[in-house]
A = this chain, B = another copy of it.
Amino acid sequence: MDDNNARSPSTPPHVVILGGGFGGLAAARGLADTEARITLIDRRNHHLFQPLLYQVATAGLSAPSIAAPLRQILRKQTNVTVLMDEALEVDLARRRVRLVSGELGYDALIVATGATHAYFGHDEWEAHAPGLKTLDDAFTVRRRVLLAFERAEREDDPARRQQWLNFVVVGGGATGVELAGTLAELARHTLPREFRRADPRQANVLLVEAGPRLLPAFDTDLSEKARRQLHKLGVDIRLNTAVTAIDSNGVMLGDTPYTARTVLWAAGVAASPLGRVLGAPVDRAGRVLVRPDLSLPGHPEVFVIGDLASVTQESGQLVPGVAPAAKQMGRYVADVLRAGWRGTPLTRPFRYRDDGVLATIGRMAAVAQFGRLKLSGLLAWWVWLLAHVTFLIGFRNRLVVLLDWGWSYWTYQRHARIVTGSDTPSRAPQPLPDDE
């Protein structure tokens, strides 16, 4: 790896960006019209449109519809070099990042490695309750869900068959609500005609939330509307209910066991471990407590953005871990860097502009909140659809996703119901139940 550390005043600055999610990509693009040399590092070769990941997990979309190679996205921005690699350490004093393939010096560093799902200290739950952060996670969820119906069809014993038709989704945020709603539709509308022995309509989808309401990022009246819409879809919602154990037989809801062969995790996230490597204070979830300009305390040349950053707004609330916030941070840091190079440092701190929140619940049902404007039902669903298709990267993806959705809504089919793979390489090994 080249040594890019020795910078004379005439050399253009070298910016290293760790992570090609919404934040990292926005930062790279924000520096397009500068002289900077940019190196963007990601462990994966693709940018992922995470808000639609649950659609891959529930077989509505294929993976390439919501993911695009980072180097393809950035191919026209000639000041960016994309490297598929992983950052292991940051030497803040020497301004160098240690990668798997070598070392890389930087003049400015933007850390945007995001978050992953977390099990509140119960890592052993992961084998039984896969989370949803990467495409490989989505394939695991898809495989588990589709195989559960296949196993039910093979099973003669009615009690054991029902265990394969019981699904538990842990966590009542947007991902949990979207997963539970889509699962219920899959069981009620997509699959029934295709099975001869098991009846997919006998499936139970249980959505468990420890707090008092669904979608805590929304106002309470919208939470209640979401609950009612989900209930209408056939989802069994358990609020104020803590999951105290998960194993291959199902979950413990407080002291009550609930038998289910498929448990999906949508409850907790933790910041990327790279946050702790930076030596700065972190919050309980591992997010880095950054300064108002998103830089690391004592290191104005290092920035942390996106889900990895803990930023408190003037209202006292944390900036939420959502895609628009990450994008805004990426653009802001690009502005800070550019202003610094020009010799006119930016003095305004980062301010999060809340563009509203959206969550879809199922077929033609969603909730949306833009400041005081609140929508639910069909209208919210149309807004949700337009917003998500608009922000998808690439004309082709937009067209294909619209086509897939149109097709799904006409036929109730989900075209990506393909089981591949037999284990999950993305994180810890996750054995499939029993004889799989």
Hey, which bits of chain A sit against chain B, CB under 8 A?
1-2, 44-46, 62-65, 67-69, 71-72, 75-76, 78, 80-85, 100-102, 135-136, 139, 146-147, 150, 153-154, 156, 193-197, 396-397, 399-400, 403-404, 407, 413, 415-423, 425-426, 435
Contact = CB atoms under 8 A, between A and B. Distances in A.
A135 B64 contact: no
B425 A421 contact: yes
Q: How many copies does the complex hold?
A: 2
A351 to B, nearest CB: 35
Which residue of A1, A63, A78 has the most chain B CB atoms within 10 A of its CB atom? A63
A135 B418 contact: yes
Nearest 5 interchain pairs by C-beta: A62-B62, A422-B425, A64-B416, A84-B150, A71-B194
Contact of A45 (B82, B418, B421): B418
Contact of A415 (B64, B146, B156, B435): B64
A358 B13 CA distance: 54
A407 B395 CA distance: 10
Contacts of A46: 417-419
A80 B193 CA distance: 12
A417 B154 contact: no
A146 B81 contact: no
Contacts of A196: 78, 80-82
Given A2-B156, A193-B75, A194-B72, A65 B63 contact: no
Contacts of A418: 45-46, 63-64, 67, 69, 135
A41 to B, nearest CB: 10
Contacts of A78: 196
Nearest to A134: B420
Which residue of A69, A75, A194, A403 has the most chain B CB atoms within 10 A of its CB atom? A69
Contacts of A195: 71
A298 B345 CA distance: 89
Contacts of A397: 415
